[in-house]
Amino acid sequence: MTDHPAKRLTHAFLFDTATLREAVRMFQKENTPVLAVIDENYFVEGILKASTVLSYLEENRDLNLPLPASWIEPSPVLSSDFSAEDYPDREAAVPVTEDGIFLGLVTSQAVVQELKESSVSSRQNAEILDVIFETAYEGIAVVDELSRITKMNKAYRNFLGIPEDEIVEGRPVTEVIENTRLHVTVETGSPERGKTQMIQGQKMIVHRIPIWRGDKVAGAIGMLIFEGVSELYHILENAGRTLPPLSAAPDVPMPTEEESRQVTFEKMIGTSSALQQAKSRARKAARTKATVMITGESGTGKEVFAQAIRSMSPRADEPFVSINCAAIPEQLLEAELFGYEEGAFTGARKGGQAGKFEAAHKGTIFLDEIGDMPLHMQTKILRVLEEEAVVRVGGHKVIPLDVRVITATNQNLLEKVAAGTFRKDLYYRLNVIHLELPRLKERKEDIPSLIEHYVPLLTEKHQLPEKAFEKEAVAALRNYSWPGNVRELVNLLEQVLTLTDNQTIRFKDLPAVVTGSTASDSDSSFLSQERGKSEKEIIEQALLEAGHNKTSAAKKLGIHRTTLYKKMKELHIT
């Protein structure tokens, strides 16, 4: 790419003295996830990511804020005579300079396009193209002159939930990508940049670029901008009400304050194949009213997925009611779920009270730890689902319901069905759509992103100075088995950040259970470090240190609160 034309560079930059309002305007104008930041002498200081602005605008609305220096991230820099093989892997955009002076930004898409249009078809260029194609964060699909898919990268396949062994090459693009217009781009030869496209119920920003060979269109390239950009546009539009409307997404409505607080798939951290496929299946589930059963180990984020399904469903504006079936005493569970009439039992509230199902009318009810529900309650839940109505405890009035049910469990319900402790008919009634969440050990490539996300939150929570993990420490965290999943990771990060005085977390600062790789899949980080004591002694110590607050003790132990209750019952701990 030694003779790349100026059209390949974008002038998406800010001076380091800019305000947030100016940053918002530039993101809108250039329709890019990255801006270069330069000083008054046009020397590059780094880059500003749209995701950084997004994080701030989720909680704040001060557009006059000067650009904080901490937002500016270091970036590789290319010289003006760079070649394609110089382009760094997994970088969305890189500043280009000449004698240190900023010339513009070059994007991975520009490099791909340059190589595609090049008359040179060397093996080296093909290899370079493959590397950029497969490592790009963006989803990329290529079609031929008949609008058949010739190539689709891993990021796009993951987003669509297409397994690696499923062949899409040779298939019409309209059969694989919903609402696509790549075939139209092939027919017209006209590029479409920054357009919105509904994919799996989610608005995405896309580019569609024709491939010309001489005077004929030989195909087209379709690109999905990084996941989350549509949400960024929502927030930018909400924050900058006085700014011009976004031409790239004119049909995106401004979010309400409630919407900005909702859990969405876009807010989930990670780009691994396992997570993306789970998200893809969950997006499909969100479109329907069918019951969903979410399974997975403790700490994998079952309630987070339930809330994201609700947020993307037609019931997003209706109630979301969550109840942990294992945390409520058996004798109170029926009244909690179905409500009760006045006088139904001693201590019943005057006038009675509505239950969780009534509270969720028109919305979604999430029944966590459904595997711990007693058999007699399972029968009543089945009746409610079949009749779509509820009768309060001590009452006779049938109350119609319109409720979408999502359940979750970390148990094998089929084994419980075989053992006779879970009703078979209820199992099949609840398991219409099954969503199995991956363990953290199955998505270890997401660990650096999770660390990057949680460290600032935890340092702010404990009013600590900014801290960072050295690469050896991150590598050790990636190699650990994580029996407690994301919950254990957050717990461990909190321990290390609060106990380490240095601003850089080193390998030696990590617990022995991580650095020694001695933990088994059944251990939590806390339990593994207390091997000299009995399980009962460890739990009693954690409860004592937490002031007998079971939620805090469970967090310290790196286990779910429900698991703690079970352990306390088994070990006769009061």
Helix residue spans in 209-250 (DSSP H): 229-239
Residues 336, 415 within the same domain:
yes
Residues 150, 275 within the same domain:
no
Residue 236 domain flag? no
pLDDT at res. 133 = 58
The CATH number for 378's domain is: 3.40.50.300
Q: Is 421 exposed, middle or buried (0-12, 13-18, 19+ CB in 10 A)?
A: middle
Residue 124 domain flag? no
Q: State how far the Cα of 505 lies from the Cα of 483, in Å rounded to an integer.
A: 22
Residues 410, 490 within the same domain:
no
Q: State how far the Cα of 92 lies from the Cα of 103, in Å rounded to an integer.
A: 17
Q: State how far the Cα of 1 lies from the Cα of 111, in Å rounded to an integer.
A: 8
Q: Which of 224, 257, 275 is the last residue of a domain?
A: 224
Which amino acid, one-letter code, is at 472? E
Domain count, the chain: 4
pLDDT at res. 526 = 47
Residue 232 domain flag? no
Contact 263, 307 (CB under 8 A): yes
pLDDT at res. 8 = 66
Contacts of 420 by beta carbon, 8 Å cutoff, 6+ apart: none
Residue 130 domain flag? no
- Of 449, 404, 143, the C-alpha closest to 293 is 404
Residues 337, 462 within the same domain:
no
**Could you list the residue range(s) of the whole structural domain that residue 500 is in?**
444-570
- Of 27, 2, 31, 18, the C-alpha closest to 66 is 18
- Pairing label, strands 78-79, 93-98: parallel
Helix residue spans in 404-503 (DSSP H): 413-419, 424-430, 447-461, 471-479, 485-499
Q: State how far the Cα of 221 lies from the Cα of 185, in Å rounded to an integer.
A: 9
- Of 30, 112, 37, the C-alpha closest to 77 is 37
Q: Which of 80, 114, 148 is the last residue of a domain?
A: 114
Contact 446, 268 (CB under 8 A): no
Q: State how far the Cα of 527 lies from the Cα of 538, in Å rounded to an integer.
A: 7
**Which residue is listed with tokens 């790789």?**
517
Residues 516, 493 within the same domain:
yes
Low-confidence ranges of the chain (pLDDT < 70): 1-8, 58, 84-85, 89-90, 109, 112-138, 214-215, 225-261, 343-348, 517-535, 558-562
Residues 45, 25 within the same domain:
yes
The CATH number for 53's domain is: 3.10.580.10
Helix residue spans in 287-423 (DSSP H): 302-312, 330-338, 356-359, 375-387, 413-419
- Of 290, 569, 542, the C-alpha closest to 434 is 290
Residues 374, 401 within the same domain:
yes
Residue 233 domain flag? no
Residues 407, 479 within the same domain:
no
The CATH number for 159's domain is: 3.30.450.20
Residues 274, 422 within the same domain:
yes
Residues 308, 430 within the same domain:
yes
Contact 435, 284 (CB under 8 A): no
Phi first, then psi: give them for residue 406, nearest 5 degrees: -125, 130
Residue 245 domain flag? no
Residue 244 domain flag? no
Contact 92, 68 (CB under 8 A): no
Q: Which of 436, 470, 486 is the last residue of a domain?
A: 436
pLDDT at res. 131 = 55
pLDDT at res. 429 = 93
Residue 408 domain flag? yes
pLDDT at res. 437 = 95
Q: State how far the Cα of 533 lies from the Cα of 540, in Å rounded to an integer.
A: 11
Q: State how far the Cα of 467 lies from the Cα of 502, in Å rounded to an integer.
A: 8
Residues 366, 424 within the same domain:
yes
pLDDT at res. 120 = 45
Residues 421, 510 within the same domain:
no
